[in-house]
Each structure stands twice: as C-alpha cells, then as structure tokens.
Amino acid sequence: MAELEAEATCLRSYESLFLPGLFQVEGYTRAIFEASDAVSTHEEIEASVRFRSRRQRVLTDDRPPQVHAVIHEAALHMRFGGTDIMRQQLLRLVELAELPHVTIQIMPFTAVAVSALTTPFCHLASHNGALETVLMEHPARSAFLHSDDDMAKYRRQFARLSDAALPAIDATIIPVKHASQDSLGLVQHILYTLQGAST
C-alpha cells in the first residue's frame, strides 16, 4: 500500500468504520493496532505506528497526489483511543482539508443508501492515470484489482458515494455561511459532543 501511495497521482478512498490511514493521528493508529490481531507486541505496534506516520509524508511532498476521501459518519463516532484522541483526530481532518489537494466528505447516517456503502476501498491512479489499482483491505488478505472493468466499476461507485455524501469540509467558509448541513458542520457537531463527554 505504501508503495502505491508514493507513486499515486490521484487517490480516492471510501471508509466506513475507520479513518483513512493517511489522515490518522498517532494515538488513533496505535489504538487500532492495539485492538488488532495483526500485531501483538509493544515493539510491533510502535513499529507499525511509525511506518504509518511515514506514509503520511506523501501528503506534504513537493508533488503530492490529489486525495479525495468519503468517510462514513460511523467512523467519526468510533472512539479509538478514547475521547481526547478522537477530538485530536477530528481536528486533524479539518486541518488536512485545508490542503489544496485534499478533499474530505462525510457520508451521514441520513444519506440515501448507495452501492458499496459497506465495502471500503481505495482507488489509486499513477502515471497521470495510466495505471490504476483498487485495493480492498481485509483482515486475512488484501485484494488488488486491476482490470479495466473493475476500474470503471469503482470509478462509478466512488462518484455515487461522493454525490450522496455531504459537501466537502471547507474551513474557509465562515460559520454563518455554511449550508444547513455540510461535512464541516457534522464534524463540528461531533466535536461538540466529544467536548461534553470529556467534561
């Protein structure tokens, strides 16, 4: 995955229960690995956290990929690492959305059901779109898809997911001019809920 991300010129991902690895703060990543069977010792967990943190450098490289993520609201409520870590994580989402090459949309619980809603995937394109791969990660084994038919299918699925999701996080819009419900508004609402839970 890291090699694909490093070569990608465009990256589109849909996540239903976790935030994309490229967006995760260390505490969130650590909590995921601590709850996973993939690694067991403290040393393995810390090595995995460091590796994921290094992967995130692709977002700040001189020529970063265009990144577009659709994240289900459920992932924002999963408290990996506890309330304080989740507050850091949601603030990190807003911070990353300020980058000109990063687009983050939230799929609310109220969205009309669309195809592939429960199947997370990452669609990566490199060499200006000439090479494409879809990655579907599973606990036992990840699947890599490369056929033209699969690429067309997942491009359509991502377009439907994006259309069904809330407008992208845009921290440059002043609060009173936000739509009645957009991705930033939903993130801020959950942050407010977390603030209440920590007091």
pTM: 0.90
Q: How far is CA 44 from CA 34, 81, 114, in A?
A: 10, 18, 38
Residues 6+ apart with CB under 8 A from 107: 70, 71, 72, 73, 117, 161, 164, 165, 166
Angle between helix axes 83-97 and 26-34 (nearest 10 degrees) is 130
DSSP 17: S
Domains contained in the chain, CATH given? 2-197 (3.30.870)
Amino acid 160: pLDDT: 92
User: What is the rounded distance in angstroms from the CA atom of residue 30 to the CA atom of residue 95?
Assistant: 20
Mean pLDDT of the chain: 88
Q: With beta carbons less than 8 A apart as the criterion, state whether 44 and 101 touch.
A: no
| Tokens (6 digits) for 127 | 């060499």
User: What is the rounded distance in angstroms from the CA atom of residue 104 to the CA atom of residue 120?
Assistant: 15
Amino acid 117: pLDDT: 57
Q: Is it the case that residue 144 has pLDDT exceeding 80?
A: yes
pLDDT digits (tens, 9 = 90+) for 75-118: 999 999 999 999 999 999 999 999 999 999 999 998 887 765 56
| Tokens (6 digits) for 10 | 């465009």
Confidence grade of residue 37 (pLDDT, cut at 50, 70, 90) = confident
| Tokens (6 digits) for 5 | 């991300």
How open is the CA angle 53-20-179, to the nearest 5 degrees? Answer: 125
Residue 164 bridge partners (DSSP):
none
Confidence grade of residue 176 (pLDDT, cut at 50, 70, 90) = low
Residue 15: which of 180, 165, 133 has the closest Cα? 165
Q: Is it the case that residue 175 has pLDDT exceeding 70?
A: no
Amino acid 145: pLDDT: 93
